[in-house]
Structure 1
Amino acid sequence: MSDIRQTVEQYIAIWNETDGDRRRALIGAVWAEDGRYTDPLADACGRAALDALVEAVQGQFPGFVFTLGPVDAHHHLARFTWGLGPAGEEPPVVGFDVLALDDAGLVATVAGFLDRIPSA
């Protein structure tokens, strides 16, 4: 599980990386070229679309950081919880993702679920 846990940690690091060049380098190292991210509010296919999505989320929640919860993994799959909020505080946004790796060990898909979001 250590390899897939490391991939999950890198995946969370992508969401926290605000420098575009470094974020795109991380995406290139972790995500399959045609990888797909889907949650109730977004559907991004490909590295450029994922980069744009991360940038948009960072713009919507400036100064917030993603924190990783428990990771459970087997074979090429991992499920994990995460929080999004100000560093060191209870996150107002909480979710659950399922990540699948391709045969090369790159992220092929992430299915995201939102367990708690702030009211509008």
Structure 2
Amino acid sequence: MMIDIFARDLAARYVALWNEPDAGLRRAAIRELWAEDGAHILHPPQEAREAAARVGFAASTFEAHGYDELELRVTRAYEDFVAPGVYVFRPGPDVVRLRDVVKFTWEMAPAGGGDAAGGGVEFLVLGRDGRIKADYQFPGL
């Protein structure tokens, strides 16, 4: 039987991970949120797909599997967007759960406040223990 998880809490912890400055805390949060064989599957923005196509790669998805790759993915996003002090990630208000799937939106907003500069939709497929088995990310509000 699926462990009962409050979808809003899960979405808040998930988004907080991407803002976490401490590498050790990020690593621990990844292990708490994802199953050991969990995956993050990103539908890359159009410009990324076009850049990959120019050099001969079909980039229909970008994928990270397992804790090491997930940590690299989250760390890179943190370093590129949050660490410079330009942006923060925040969850949207529209978190819903249907059986083993949690869906929510998120925003990338200026660190000083203001309107979102970007964002997307997240679909988290949960395992029986309540941890993420598959994380499908669709950037672009």
Higher RCO (C-alpha under 8 Å, 6+ residues apart): 2
TM-score, scaled relative to structure 1? 0.88
Unaligned runs of 5+ in 1: none
Summarize the alignment of residues 13-28 of structure 1 with structure 2, pairs less than 5 Å apart. 13-28=16-31
2:35–2:132 CA contact under 8 A, matched in 1: yes
For the pair 1:34 / 2:37, whether they are aligned, the reply is: yes
Structure with bigger gyration radius? 2
Unaligned runs of 5+ in 2: 45-61
Q: What letter matches 1:98 in structure 2?
A: F
Mapped partners of 2:37, 2:110: distance in 1: 31
For the pair 1:84 / 2:108, whether they are aligned, the reply is: yes
1:68–1:80 CA contact under 8 A, matched in 2: yes
| Larger strand percent | 1
Work out the percentage of aligned pairs sharing the same amino acid.
33
How far 1:36 moved relative to its partner?
0.4
Aligned residue among 52, 59, 68 for 1:48 = 68
How far 1:46 moved relative to its partner?
0.8
Q: Which residue is equivalent to 2:88?
A: 65
Q: CA RMSD in A?
A: 1.5
TM-score, scaled relative to structure 2? 0.76
Give the count of matched residue pairs. 116
Q: What letter matches 1:44 in structure 2?
A: A
Which moved further from structure 2: 84-93 or 98-107? Answer: 84-93
2:91–2:107 CA contact under 8 A, matched in 1: yes
1:4–1:76 CA contact under 8 A, matched in 2: no
